[in-house]
Structure 1
Amino acid sequence: MRTVRSLGANLRFSKYMTHAALMVEAKRLIHTDRDIARAVGLKPMTSENRTIVALELHSDEQSRKPGILVIGGLNGMAWGSPNAILELADKLLYDTNYQTPFFNDYDWFLIPMGNPDGINFTQSLRKLTPVDPLMWSQNLTARNGTRPTHWYKNVDREAKEGPCFGTNVNRNFAYHWQDDVHKTPERCSQLYPGAKPFSTTEAQAIRKYVDRLANIVHLAIHLHASFVPKKEYILYPWRFSTRAPSNYRTLQDIGEYAARQARLSDGRLYEVHQSSDDQRVAGSLSDYLSGVVGIDLVYLIKPYHPLYPNYSDTTILETYVKKSLTSMLSIVRGWRSSTKLNTLSFFGRDVEF
């Protein structure tokens, strides 16, 4: 018998997740429930020899169910994203409130921390004095006792010469790479996409993993973060172009359904629209999942997350995690509603079971 419990709104992980802590939790999950949970170490390892781990959750190994892919922690500042995805895994496995309809009806593929080097880098600098990131990158003297005000990249060093390092992993995927700009952002920029597509080990590892899920996953979510207060989004492809995808109406309808279900505490709704409506971004993970892997439903979710949040303030982390859980599962509910999966009609009203 598998251990089950009903936790309600309580969260299991109350501290920001480090890569070391993530590896411990992954081992705990597979040791406790090895019949339904599996941890996969992705290759290659990062430039600082960290393993990107994927968690695979299957309620029934004997049958294949629609797959849901969730990837987070791709941005060096999205500290709460790994917590939210680990919290999701924990609740799917052990919380009776989540097993039906979410766990029993789907196979889940979760990558909590896609950029462990970048997250470790920013967490280690959190107590230092903030400096403009371009100045910090270009000037070695400016780095003494300081940190960049934000860091969206990993920490790889493609070029041996020069002080600048790091690549924006979410601009490094090989789908319309660099189609949004006329000139490559300079090496010191937080938008630097790499010397070529898949130049980062993080993008390479994620590509190898998601490519084999092409015929399994039907819904993919990239859990990101918005760093602007009261600007929170549920977005869908394309990011590289203002051209709408062929299934944009379905994507918009499911997104709007999710926004209503995940209404924010102050009454606001997530803004739901095509990713490029605000800014064109080429080489992104979400466009790669849609355009190359061929996943029909792909969403980018961005709840608000402050830059360098107070590490000891659990309220900030709890707020982000709860919003992330609610919005991700609302997307799943919206998908179920659109397909009438597990619903019966009583007197003209659809009732989910």
Structure 2
Amino acid sequence: MVLFSPRNYELSGAKLRMTRSTGDNILFKPYADQKMVMSALEQFRRHDPEVVNVVHLTPETYENRTIMAVELRSDKQIRKPGILIIGALNPMAWGAPNVILELSEKLLYDAWYQTPFFNDYDWYLIPLANPDGVEFTHKIRSLPPLDYAEWTRNDTMRPRTRPSQWHKNVDKDTKEKNNACFGTNINRNFAYHWQDDVHKTPLRCCQNYPGPKPFSTAEAKAIRQYVDKLGDFINLAIHLHASFSPKKEYILYPWRYSLRSPSNYRTLQDIGEYAARQARLPDGRLYEVHQSSNDEQIAGTLSDYVSGVVGIDLVYLIKPYHEMFPNFTDTRNLDLYVKKSIATILSVVRGWRSSTKQNTLSFFGRDVEF
């Protein structure tokens, strides 16, 4: 029998702070925007400055908004295994900021989550990576939809309609006179095999427009500077995205630009399958787990950059189902997306912990996780 010493709760940061069980109700409603994210993160910082650090990333976005990160560390004197989560890079994933705010609140104050998730890891969270895009889609939500290709071509219809989908930010080329087409898909703008998936640059009106060059967007620059600075402190990275197809929900891993498998694909697949079993969907289905490029090859993505350039071994793209332009006042879909996402994120963490035998006791040859 192998015994590990019990946690020193004082050293781990598990002090007698406010603890409670939140139950099933989510706290952050409705769909979060920049103002709500800033208010929530500042509230966390004021209540627990000894464990919460709020970082304002630079540069600011095209519309002068700041991307914010929140760092949750139960003991700032030592470094614990780091977990990075980035949400709402795609502005159609309206619920992603709510997920990260809700998860932060649970890690800080809910006794069910503090041990082991908060006390054993350092968390680095970016709730809203595309604030301009989310603000844009929120503002136009009540307008009647028009096919996005037609919307981009028809200037006269724009004030009275909205595109059927929008996957970009809202930056504009100052050299263009009328800026009829605007916006860059941030998840095509990272400098790792940029544009390897196309023969020529897509048109500016295209929803997959990757920008004139890598890191041309302020959002990609800000994320790069923050993630590069963290470097070796991150052990697990998750891009919280969304699937916009019902009954198609995914846990994916690199590479997205190539069919070539990463050297640690077996570990990534095993952890993903473990997470899929633990976070079984409400209707009994399992997440589909596989390499990202098996569905579609996409270059210049955040997940490939974090894996290929920053050098983080464990990188996942999580895509629960999320309706495009959902009913803003009916939060049942938001509630479901938040619960599924948190369950999946924590199941990935459990799968990682299980694969490394962290927090495991062996009793007569049987491993028991605690």
Aligned to 1:124: 139
Q: 2:351 aligned with 1:331, yes or no? A: no
Counterpart pick for 1:201 among 204, 212, 218: 218
Letter in 1 for 2:18: T
Deviations 1:241-300 (A, max 9, x none): 000000000000000000000000111000000000000010000000000000010000
Q: Distance in 2 between matches of 1:277 and 1:59?
A: 38
Counterpart pick for 1:210 among 227, 239, 243: 227
Kindly state the Cα deviation for residue 182 of structure 1 after the two structures are TM-superposed: 0.8
Q: Distance in 2 between matches of 1:44 and 1:170?
A: 17
Q: 2:176 aligned with 1:160, yes or no? A: yes
Aligned to 2:322: 305
The aligned length equals 353
Aligned to 1:169: 186
Q: Distance in 1 between matches of 2:158 and 2:307?
A: 39
Counterpart pick for 2:238 among 210, 221, 225: 221
Q: 2:74 aligned with 1:59, yes or no? A: yes
Letter in 1 for 2:252: L
Which stretch shifts more, 154-163 or 107-116? 154-163
Q: Distance in 1 between matches of 2:286 and 2:366?
A: 25
Letter in 1 for 2:170: V
Q: Distance in 2 between matches of 1:80 and 1:285?
A: 19
Q: 2:93 aligned with 1:78, yes or no? A: yes
Secondary structure of 1:100's counterpart equals helix
Residues 69, 220 of structure 1: 8 Å contact kept: yes
Letter in 2 for 1:89: S
Aligned to 1:30: 45
Deviations 1:48-100 (A, max 9, x none): 01100000000011211010000001001010000001111000000000011
Aligned to 1:267: 284
Q: Distance in 2 between matches of 1:138 and 1:63?
A: 55
Aligned to 1:146: 161
Kindly state the Cα deviation for residue 3 of structure 1 after the two structures are TM-superposed: 1.2
Aligned to 1:350: 367
- Aligned residues with identical type, % of pairs: 67
Secondary structure of 1:308's counterpart equals coil
Structure 1: tracts of 5 or more residues without a match: none
Aligned to 1:341: 358
Deviations 1:24-51 (A, max 9, x none): 1111010010000010000000000110
Instruction: Indicate the structure (1 or 2) with the bigger Cα radius of gyration.
Output: 2
Deviations 1:99-129 (A, max 9, x none): 1110000000000000000000001100001
Q: Distance in 2 between matches of 1:182 and 1:319?
A: 39
Aligned to 2:334: 317
Aligned to 1:184: 201
Q: Distance in 2 between matches of 1:76 and 1:34?
A: 30
Q: 2:132 aligned with 1:135, yes or no? A: no
Q: Distance in 2 between matches of 1:117 and 1:189?
A: 18
| Alignment root-mean-square deviation, CA | 0.8
Which stretch shifts more, 153-162 or 324-333? 153-162
Letter in 2 for 1:160: E
Aligned to 1:242: 259
Q: 2:139 aligned with 1:96, yes or no? A: no
Kindly state the Cα deviation for residue 144 of structure 1 after the two structures are TM-superposed: 2.4
Structure 1 consecutive aligned stretches of length 4 or more whose deviation exceeds 6 Å: none
Q: 2:301 aligned with 1:284, yes or no? A: yes
Deviations 1:149-177 (A, max 9, x none): 00000000025234000000000000000
Q: Distance in 1 between matches of 2:75 and 2:159?
A: 53
Q: Distance in 1 between matches of 2:314 and 2:61?
A: 29
Structure 2: tracts of 5 or more residues without a match: 1-15
Letter in 2 for 1:328: I
Secondary structure of 2:326's counterpart equals coil
Aligned to 2:125: 110
